[in-house]
């Protein structure tokens, strides 16, 4: 084990523990939040009042995202963690069969174009909900299929379309980091459009960067180099992979002036989210 790996180990272990805990305790956080989006669009389309008790989870997720960035996407979402696991296992298999330099990849330009797809999916779902059509597409959602597997109730043939879509998503997850999060997630599209308070955003001191260095971008699961394209900054999922790889430590958060230890900061955010999730009824053990 190299010295660099030893330094990163405590952070890595902490991340894994946090993500496993959220995976076990709040597997339905995504679906609960997106139910709020669907309810709003359906209510607007039908001309009926929006019921606050059906959008509290969405309000909580939106507020947390604005305050702390896309922490939900980076550490809480069960589908995101599942995708990372699939990609990790696929990477081991590809390295064994093809070698480390021959793994299947998606070109950067194609990645940037495909990232726009999730916004179209969000728009399409919003329109279908407003027209009252989405509720009739029972068994189409890959997330519903995933949720049934999570509770050990395999979906039947009435979920055939959802099973096919879910299988294709798993295939994509095997060859691209955060495949669903980047290209298909409608809730991720919503979060990417939200502003993030300055004290919680990751900032890059571009003037101090090594010319031509792309270490942060190459290590970013969503292919973002902060400040390079302002319009794409919303794609950042706050995983902070870039902060640990920068050779000149140019990436930072203003909040680190108060708490310098990144692990402590991560744990604090996790505890705050868990408290919020428990209050909103997302924790299945309460």
Cβ-contact 284, 26 below 8 angstroms: yes
Q: Show the domain range for 274.
A: 3-279
Cβ-contact 69, 266 below 8 angstroms: no
Q: Point out the residues of the chain with pLDDT beneath 50.
A: none
Terminal-residue alpha carbon distance, the chain: 41
183 located within any domain: yes
144 located within any domain: yes
284 located within any domain: no
Q: What integer pLDDT is reported at residue 189 of this predicted model?
A: 95
The predicted-structure confidence for 175-196, as pLDDT tens digits, reads as follows: 999 999 999 999 999 999 998 8
**What global pTM score does this model have?**
0.89
pLDDT over 70 for what percent of the chain?
92
Q: What integer pLDDT is reported at residue 223 of this predicted model?
A: 86
Please state, as a whole number, how many other Cβ atoms lie within 10 Å of the Cβ of residue 178: 23
285 located within any domain: no
172 located within any domain: yes
Q: What integer pLDDT is reported at residue 114 of this predicted model?
A: 92
**Residue entry with tokens 């298909």:** 184
Cβ-contact 163, 145 below 8 angstroms: yes
199 located within any domain: yes
The stretches of the chain forming alpha helices (DSSP H) are 3-25, 29-46, 56-68, 71, 78-98, 108-114, 117-130, 142-150, 160-175, 179-183, 186-192, 215-219, 262-279
286 located within any domain: no
Cβ-contact 123, 134 below 8 angstroms: no
The predicted-structure confidence for 202-223, as pLDDT tens digits, reads as follows: 777 777 788 878 888 888 888 8
Looking at the structure of the chain, the number of domains it has is 1
47 located within any domain: yes
CA atoms in the 13 A half-sphere facing the CB of 202? 27
Q: What integer pLDDT is reported at residue 192 of this predicted model?
A: 94
Residues ≥6 apart with Cβ < 8 Å to 42: 129, 130, 132, 134, 135
């Amino acid at each position: 084990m190299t010295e660099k790996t030893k330094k990163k180990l405590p952070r890595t272990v902490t991340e894994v523990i946090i993500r496993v805990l959220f995976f076990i305790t709040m597997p339905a956080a995504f679906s609960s939040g997106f139910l709020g989006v669907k309810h709003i669009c359906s209510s607007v389309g039908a001309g009926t009042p929006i019921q606050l008790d059906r959008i509290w989870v969405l309000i909580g997720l939106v507020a947390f995202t604005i305050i702390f960035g896309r922490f939900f996407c980076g550490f809480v979402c069960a589908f995101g963690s599942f995708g990372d696991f699939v990609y990790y296992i696929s990477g081991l298999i590809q390295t064994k069969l093809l070698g480390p330099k021959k793994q299947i990849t998606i070109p950067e330009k194609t990645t940037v174009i495909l990232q726009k797809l999730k916004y179209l999916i969000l728009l399409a779902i919003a329109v279908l909900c407003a027209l009252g059509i989405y509720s009739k597409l029972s068994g189409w959602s890959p997330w519903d299929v995933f949720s049934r597997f999570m509770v050990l109730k395999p979906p039947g043939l009435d979920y055939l379309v959802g099973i096919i879509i879910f299988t294709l998503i798993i295939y994509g997850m095997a060859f691209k980091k955060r495949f669903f999060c980047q290209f298909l997630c409608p809730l991720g599209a919503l979060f990417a459009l939200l502003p993030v308070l300055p004290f919680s955003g990751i900032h890059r001191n571009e003037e101090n960067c090594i010319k031509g260095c792309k270490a942060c971008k190459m290590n970013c699961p969503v292919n973002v180099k902060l400040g390079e394209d302002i319009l794409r900054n919303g794609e950042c999922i706050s995983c902070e992979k870039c902060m640990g790889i920068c050779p000149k430590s140019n990436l930072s958060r203003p909040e680190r002036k108060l708490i310098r230890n990144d692990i402590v900061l991560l744990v604090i955010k996790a505890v705050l989210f868990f408290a919020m999730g428990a209050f909103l009824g997302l924790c299945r053990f309460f």
